[in-house]
Amino acid sequence: MNFRICGQTMLPRRTLSIIFLSLLVISGITPFMGNEIITSSAETTGESTTTDLSGITVGIYEGYINNIDPRVNQSRQALFNMFTWMNASVFIFNTTELLNGCLWACEILAIPEGLGPTMENRLTDDGLQTIREWVSLGGSYIGVRGSAAMAMNGSFFEGYTTTFDLALVNGTSYEVEDLDSLQMTNVSINRDCTGPDLSDMPANMSVLFRTGRYFVPSEGQEIICIANYTHNNQPAMIAAEYGEGNLFISSPHFEYEENGDRDGTDYMDAYDDPDSEWPMLLTISRWLVDSSPTVANISSWPYTPPTLSPLPLDLIMIGVGVGAVLLLIAVVIVKRR
């Protein structure tokens, strides 16, 4: 049966049905061509049952190379070995890589010890801004000694007042003046803290102290006290939130294993330390990651953009079939003219 409108012969009903079905097939498959399924943010947050850092990427900033004072080099090596022991994927990056986006492959950023002003100068203003943005969106920052002081916006040390630009915490770090410049000292662990579950940790722990600081938050700044110096009850290790992300900073060294060699360095092996801070740092690191949204949005560094995968065979066959139907319709239309 043909249809007539205003004297014009229209297509048969069967041809119209074929056209309609063809358009229906095309509209049904088009949304799926070339798209990937993206996990929602709700599926990438929440507490993990993993007890180590498997599946987590840690980026360690190289700091600066100083052959006269090897503390930065040794701290970097010990951090690398510590996070490797935690089963994390670990890489070391420089300022150029930071500015090129390497943080977006990481869940954790760790910076070794070093002089805070020197470290900030090497990071550059743009690099510091990149770190702040990354943490605010869910990244986790870990700093020790100089890189811990850098996370506070104020500092009073060796008689000088300094302002740091990284400034993840509103507050001031003050010099501990009643300990020797380099010694072992005790800290009291806050096993009832509202952050990481430290209930299984020892009440006291021996740590390496080197011209260190204690942390005092400004009014309105919330912190979680992880450990206090036992002798004066001042905060030696703290955690805090920054935007959607968080941080852990410690003035005493936690990265060295003074009585062992798994830290990859003998830098501080002259000191006797029966305790290892690594299990506590694993608990803290796991808590940092679990308590913030997933911020990493590239799979690895250096980043290699994904290549376009070929279309599946079934979509190719559907396309060929639809093309054949459309060709047949065109032939029918030509013959009826």
The dihedral of CA 223, 113, 187, 205: what is its sign? positive
| pLDDT reading at 141 higher than 90 | yes
Q: Which CATH code fits 50-290? A: 3.40.50.880
Token output for 16: 């119209």
Question: Which of the two residues, 299 and 147, has the higher pLDDT score?
Answer: 147
Residue 250 pLDDT level (bands cut at 50, 70, 90): very high
Residue 48, pLDDT score: 57
Residue 137, pLDDT score: 97
Domain ranges of the chain: 4-31+311-336, 50-290
Residue 144, pLDDT score: 97
Q: What is the mean pLDDT of the chain?
A: 83
Residue 23, pLDDT score: 46
- The position carrying tokens 């959607």 is 244
For 180-230, what is each residue's pLDDT tens digit?
Answer: 999 999 999 999 999 999 999 999 999 999 999 999 999 999 999 999 999
Token output for 325: 């139907």
Instruction: State the average pLDDT over residues 47-72.
Output: 83
How many other CB atoms sit within 10 Å of the CB of residue 203? 9
Q: Order of strands across the sheet with 213-217?
A: 160-163, 152-157, 169-175, 213-217
For 279-334, what is each residue's pLDDT tens digit?
Answer: 999 999 999 999 999 888 887 777 655 554 454 555 556 665 666 656 666 555 55
- pTM, entire model: 0.77
Residue 82 pLDDT level (bands cut at 50, 70, 90): very high
